[in-house]
A and B are shown apart, each in its own frame.
Chain A
Amino acid sequence: MASSLGTTERAHSGRRSERFALGFVLTVAPGALWIILFLLAPSILVIAMAFLSNGDYGSPHLPMTLDAFRRVLGFSVLGWSNGNLKTLWRSLVQSATAAVATILVAYPLAFFIVSRRSYLRPLLLLMVILPSWTNQVIRTYAWMELLAPDTSLSHLAQESGLIAPHMGLFPSDFAIFLGLIYNYLPYMVLPLYAAVEKLDWTIVEVGRDLYASGYRLFWHTVFPQTLPGLLAGIILVAIPAFGDFVVPQLLGGNKFLMLGNLIANQFTSTPDWPYGAALALVMLCFTFAGLFVFRRVARRLGRGEGQIL
């Protein structure tokens, strides 16, 4: 009796756990498959490729070597050059300035939109987002037209002595800067708008009640509340801007390369896949390092809300 009862119980629980296992596989499999196919596999490919030698047409070949990384550091048959360091530095500076500039534009914009009547707000948001629905290349070409030599903007810059005569505002670092802000502004405005919209204004009133005004009022009452949106915006802007290659390609005119162009070139015009893969790895490392530092800062700033990132 006792043993047969035990068997039935075991059989029941066995069937239950089988059903559970099936459910588990069905629910987890799509996501896991996606991650394996489109994240892990390509990552492993890129990592492996970075350690291979360069073949005749830029395709990777055995034997394994660290040659690609030596060239990332600037060593080549012609000796050491600081070209890659300069490119890395330009990418870091451009993505940082793009993030700062979009913050400076997005904060007032978010407050402006939130302060409008409720039926106007989605419309105004749409106007911010709408340009990003057209192709980035086309929009960047439009900036080339606007900033080219002998355009009214360039004339204006010449008259004010900002640029030499007969030089356009494009190609230049400044043109890249403008292009990046223009491209990534919506990704700062949207999370910041969401944060400003649910701002607890009583907290702001408490700040005013307790003698804070001006920038101190902003810093102690508005800034901490909008911090999660701000952080999301910075990540959405700074990381893609760091790796952007369309904007520097078109608005930099090959003179002001960023890391993205350098990598893209290794797979297109002058093929060298292992070198390109090594550059991509370096970029990934910098992105993760940046995120790590960012997370530490965010935790310190937003300690009341638990974890922000």
Chain B
Amino acid sequence: MNAIPRLAQAIGDGKDFAKPAAEIHDAQHGKVHLQDVSKVFADGTVAVDRVNLEVEPGEFFTLLGPSGCGKTTLLRIIAGFEDLNGGAIFISGRSMLGVPPHARNVNTVFQSYALFPQLNVAENIAFGLRMRGVKTVERRRRCQDMMVSMQIDVFAKRMPHQLSGGQRQRVALARALINEPEVVLLDEPLSALDAKLRQELQVELLRMQKRLGMTFIFVTHDQHEALVMSDRIAVMDKGLVRQMGRVDDVYERPRDVFVAEFLGLSNIFRVQSKQGADVSTSLGMLRLSHTPETLQHVMVRPEKVLLSSLEEKGRGINDFHGLVREVLYMGATSQYGLEIDGYPLVATISNTQNGRTRYRVGERLRVHIEPASIVGMGG
């Protein structure tokens, strides 16, 4: 039996370890609101620079960015581990200024898992309930339910050093979720796992989040992870939020070169001049269906580039002749390195389409880009 359906079933079976979202009457419950939040470290580094963001209740929100962009600092600010140098922070509508971490109804899953080495799995998971004074009988019951739903009940008596990475990860997650926090903060929780396990846990995590209806704020530098898991994302760089929105919007319509390049592959051309919907670029004249006010670059995703043989009729606009320089076979797709008038262009074509979609190195072909597929961007 495949791991994922089994997990889905298990999650469906775990009945009462968390309230379904519908039971929570307070509309603010689980909402996170950051207002002009800034953080400057003692050495003068601006880690977070006037960040504004609102995370809606029950949302899977991802902070994405390269290392050192301030995403982890932002998460630590929400958890209460870092003081603010400016701005305000509200969780479930209550101001969190001066509220220490232990008084916040927020739980964090750390990158290193950081399980208590002297406590076994069950004791680790029950720790938060114990600190809150939940009675032993109820604590045991909730802990048992949690372990069953996470499929770690067989490890209940094991010590952390006897567990594998994936098992530790589950324990760390269970230790946070059992407290039914208003917000769950996850700091690159999957980055230490191997690729296959990571994919499994991504799906598991996502299903669990949807089932529990809890707000998840997830930090990652992995764009694939961000794309797969998030409802909305904020792309960060140098302490600033460069773009925030639904994950598909940010991917399809990046605001600037940084976002476009960080999230997926892209072909980016500098705009030389502009005449209505037609812009002149290094590639030649391109027609856009929409041109923003500040237009410095145009971008087209490789999968939006259409290839056809030279015999087929051109469409008049945004048509080019290209030369195949390089073919990268990637299983489901192939990535073509093309050359158009000496300028490179990357195209990704599905290998399972009907008709002829495979081209050889050295072959000449027709390249077409739909005006609607071209995104005009600022800096």
A binds B: yes
In the complex, how many angstroms separate the beta carbon of B122 from the nearest chain A beta carbon?
A: 13
Are A212 and B112 also in contact (CB < 8 A) when A224-B117, A304-B159 are?
no
Q: Is A56 an interface residue (CB 8 A)?
A: no
Q: Scoring A residues 213 to 251 as 1 if CB is less than 8 Å from chain B, else 0, what string do you get?
A: 100110011001100000000000000000000000000
In the complex, how many angstroms separate the beta carbon of B72 from the nearest chain A beta carbon?
A: 12
**Cβ-defined partner of A303 (8 Å) among B101, B108, B114, B159:** B159
Are A221 and B116 also in contact (CB < 8 A) when A209-B102, A210-B179, A211-B102 are?
yes
Residues of A within 8 A of B361 (CB): none
Q: Is B4 an interface residue (CB 8 A)?
A: no
Can you name the residue of chain A whose Cβ is closest to the Cβ of B179? A210
Residues of A within 8 A of B179 (CB): 210-211
Q: How far is the CA of A302 from the CA of B103 in the complex (A)?
A: 29
Q: Is B161 an interface residue (CB 8 A)?
A: yes
Are A210 and B159 also in contact (CB < 8 A) when A224-B116, A224-B117 are?
no
Q: Is the CB of A208 within 8 A of B81?
A: yes
User: Which chain B residues numbered 100 to 125 have a C-beta less than 8 Å away from chain A?
Assistant: 100-103, 106-108, 110, 112, 114, 116-119
Can you name the residue of chain A whose Cβ is closest to the Cβ of B76? A205
Q: Is the CB of B107 within 8 A of A304?
A: no
**Cβ-defined partner of A212 (8 Å) among B108, B118, B131, B161:** B131
**Cβ-defined partner of B100 (8 Å) among A203, A208, A225:** A208
Residues of B within 8 A of A220 (CB): 116, 127
Are A211 and B160 also in contact (CB < 8 A) when A203-B116, A221-B116, A224-B117 are?
no
Are A211 and B100 also in contact (CB < 8 A) when A200-B114, A202-B110, A206-B108 are?
no
Residues of A within 8 A of B159 (CB): 303-304
Residues of A within 8 A of B110 (CB): 202, 205-206
User: Which chain B residues numbered 36 to 95 have a C-beta less than 8 Å away from chain A?
Assistant: 79-81
Q: Is the CB of B107 within 8 A of A210?
A: yes
In the complex, how many angstroms separate the beta carbon of B73 from the nearest chain A beta carbon?
A: 13
Residues of B within 8 A of A302 (CB): 118
Residues of B within 8 A of A202 (CB): 110, 112, 114
Are A224 and B118 also in contact (CB < 8 A) when A210-B175, A213-B100 are?
yes
**Cβ-defined partner of A208 (8 Å) among B102, B116, B118:** B102
Q: Is the CB of B107 within 8 A of A209?
A: yes
Q: Scoring B residues 114 to 149 as 1 if CB is less than 8 Å from chain A, else 0, what string do you get?
A: 101111000000011001100000000000000000
Can you name the residue of chain A whose Cβ is closest to the Cβ of B159? A304
In the complex, how many angstroms separate the beta carbon of A257 from the nearest chain B beta carbon?
A: 41
Residues of B within 8 A of A200 (CB): 114
Residues of A within 8 A of B117 (CB): 203, 224-225, 304-305
Residues of A within 8 A of B132 (CB): 211
Q: Is the CB of B81 within 8 A of A304?
A: no
Q: Is the CB of A211 within 8 A of B131?
A: yes
Can you name the residue of chain A whose Cβ is closest to the Cβ of B106? A209
Residues of B within 8 A of A224 (CB): 116-118
Q: Is the CB of B101 within 8 A of A304?
A: no
**Cβ-defined partner of A304 (8 Å) among B102, B114, B119, B175:** B119
Residues of A within 8 A of B80 (CB): 208
Q: Is the CB of A303 within 8 A of B102?
A: no
Q: Is the CB of B116 within 8 A of A209?
A: no
Q: Is the CB of A213 within 8 A of B102?
A: yes
Q: Is the CB of A205 within 8 A of B160?
A: no
Q: How far is the CA of A213 from the CA of B102 in the complex (A)?
A: 7
Residues of B within 8 A of A210 (CB): 102, 107, 127-128, 131, 175, 179
Can you name the residue of chain B whose Cβ is closest to the Cβ of A224? B118
Binding site for B on A (CB under 8 A): 200, 202-203, 205-206, 208-213, 216-217, 220-221, 224-225, 301-305
Cross-chain pairs A/B with CB under 8 angstroms, 30 sampled: A200-B114, A202-B110, A202-B114, A203-B114, A203-B116, A205-B79, A205-B101, A205-B108, A205-B110, A206-B110, A208-B80, A209-B101, A209-B106, A210-B102, A210-B107, A210-B127, A211-B131, A211-B132, A213-B100, A216-B131, A217-B102, A220-B116, A220-B127, A221-B116, A224-B118, A225-B117, A303-B118, A304-B116, A304-B119, A305-B118
Instruction: Known pairs A212-B127, A305-B118; list 4 more (Cβ under 8 Å).
Output: A205-B110, A208-B101, A211-B128, A304-B160
